[in-house]
Homo-oligomer: A and B are copies of this chain.
Amino acid sequence: MSVYSPRLARLIDALRRLPGVGPKSAQRMAFQLLDRERGAARTLAQALTDALEHIGRCPSCRMFCEGGDCRYCTPARTASGHLCVVEGPADLMAIEAGTPYRGRYFVLMGRLSPLDGIGPDELGLDQLQAQLATGDVRELIIATNPTVEGEATAHCLAEIARAQNVAVSRIAHGVPVGGELEYVDGGTLAHALSGRRQV
């Protein structure tokens, strides 16, 4: 018999599946939600249900998108001629929040990692290639993480762009090598972006 009653056990299990949450934290969260934070629990349940129902993926940039038009695929952004490729949504958010860049994005939702079965198909590279083929993109800015896998991904992206005669740049290594883009401050990111170089 679990030390918890059935519904409490289910709640704690569900909380444990959140990233970075261990058994003790999950228990603490459950008790707090059931004790002083019942309103917060209700809000969270509703926010989750609502998000699952209404947040999907933009078919063009692959970023999370609610209903109608994607906020990152506007005509103004398309007109900039810039397309910035990032590994994940958090990287996109970091660039939006910390730099003046307002071009378009392409979110890989991962990075090349053959050992994990993540290849060009999983990252939507054929879709990216099709976008470059339209001629709307003047410059592809590669903002994958400066890690081994991120660099391998960048190399592959650069080849795709060259094959379509699209200029390619890589954000400058103001970003600490081996670090994760998502945790870099806005100033460093802005510097890295403006110091990008042709590859």
Contacts and interface: CB of A to CB of B under 8 A. Distances in A.
Contacts of A15: 18, 44, 47
7 nearest CB pairs, A to B: A45-B48, A14-B44, A14-B47, A17-B40, A11-B47, A11-B51, A45-B45
Contact of A52 (B25, B38, B48, B96): B38
Interface stretch (A76-84, A87-95, A139-147, A189-197): A87-95
A4 to B, nearest CB: 8
A183 B97 CA distance: 39
Interface of A: 3-8, 10-11, 13-15, 17-20, 24-25, 27-35, 37-38, 40-52, 54-55, 64-66, 71, 88-90, 93, 96-97, 109, 182-183
Give the number of times this chain occurs in the complex, counting copies. Answer: 2
- Judged by DSSP, the binding face of A is helix
A66 B14 contact: no
Contacts of A71: 5
A89 B183 CA distance: 36
Nearest to A9: B47
A40 B14 contact: yes
A8 B44 contact: no
